Amino acid sequence: EKIHNKIFKNASEASLIVAREIAQLIVSKQAENKDCILGLATGSSPIKVYEELVRMHKEDGLSFRNVITFNLDEYYPMKKENHHSYHHFMHEHLFNHIDIKPENINIPDGTILIDALKQYCIDYENKIINAGGLDFQLLGIGRTGHVGFNEPGSHINSGTRIITLDYITRVDASSDFNGIENVPKRAITMGVSTILKSKRIVLMAWGQNKADVIKRTVQGDISPEIPATFLQNHDNTTFVLDQSAASEL
């Protein structure tokens, strides 16, 4: 099995290490006069990484002028200005506080008309390829074993597309949305193959409620039942865990 696990005392310590890796990548690309292509995630897991990147920008002069970002997913339908949108989340936690060029920010658009979605998803995929491919993909994991919103049943060859959210995922989001009836039923997500093409992948998980899915992802058979198991096929993936999330390994 190819996945490396790094276990830390807590999420704060772990997040510093992940943020430093991202910062080093950005700086090394700057030295080569190249763009740095980052795949970014939402949810509670990456928040401290973004906090540290913002701190490095403000206090250490880390610049994001050469950074192009592609977010994994967005609810559908979803307006950008809605407080539950991943568009809003990313601006609040990262983009509003750094010097990234607005035109270099890519987040799936939850307002695309349903008839235009298929082409929109093909274009999103091609935009990643034309930028040179993802240098680094940050991931969280859902209790269903989803990465991005690739729910159980997602194919290893899947690309960016619209999916139906798993019931468990909607339950987990229900407190944010003030009730499951307010959680969107669908989302746009990068596919499993989109994620696996990244040159480097770091998946973060914190807390006891992730311990079971982490065990099944790291030790279980590769299967679309737990899409995160497809990461076992990737050459350069690290799982960054706190002690609770790693407690069943």
Q: Closer CB to ligand GLP, residue 62 or residue 230?
A: 230
Instruction: State how far the alpha carbon of 111 is from the alpha carbons of 36, 150, 158, 247, in Å.
Output: 27, 20, 22, 40
Q: Can you tell me which of 22, 94, 141, 195 binds ligand GLP, judged by CB under 6 A?
A: 141
Rg (CA), the chain: 17
Out of 125, 151, 181, 225, pick the active-site residue. Answer: 151
Q: Closer CB to ligand GLP, residue 142 or residue 159?
A: 142
Task: Return the structure tokens found at 107.
Answer: 């987040």
- Does residue 103 carry a catalytic annotation? no
Instruction: Identify each DSSP E strand in the chain by its residue range.
Output: 4-8, 36-40, 67-71, 73-76, 105-106, 136-139, 161-164, 186-189, 201-205, 237-242
Task: Tell whether residue 73 is a contact of ligand GLP (CB under 6 A).
Answer: yes
Whose CA is closest to 238, among 135, 143, 138? Answer: 138
- Crossing angle of helices 86-93 and 47-60, rounded to 10°: 40
How many residues interact with ligand GLP (rule CB under 6 A)? 13
Q: Can you tell me which of 110, 145, 148, 191 binds ligand GLP, judged by CB under 6 A?
A: 148
Q: Closer CB to ligand GLP, residue 29 or residue 234?
A: 234
Task: Tell whether residue 44 is a contact of ligand GLP (CB under 6 A).
Answer: yes
Q: Which residues bind ligand GLP (CB under 6 A)?
A: 41-45, 72-73, 140-142, 148-149, 169
Supply the residues annotated as catalytic. Answer: 151
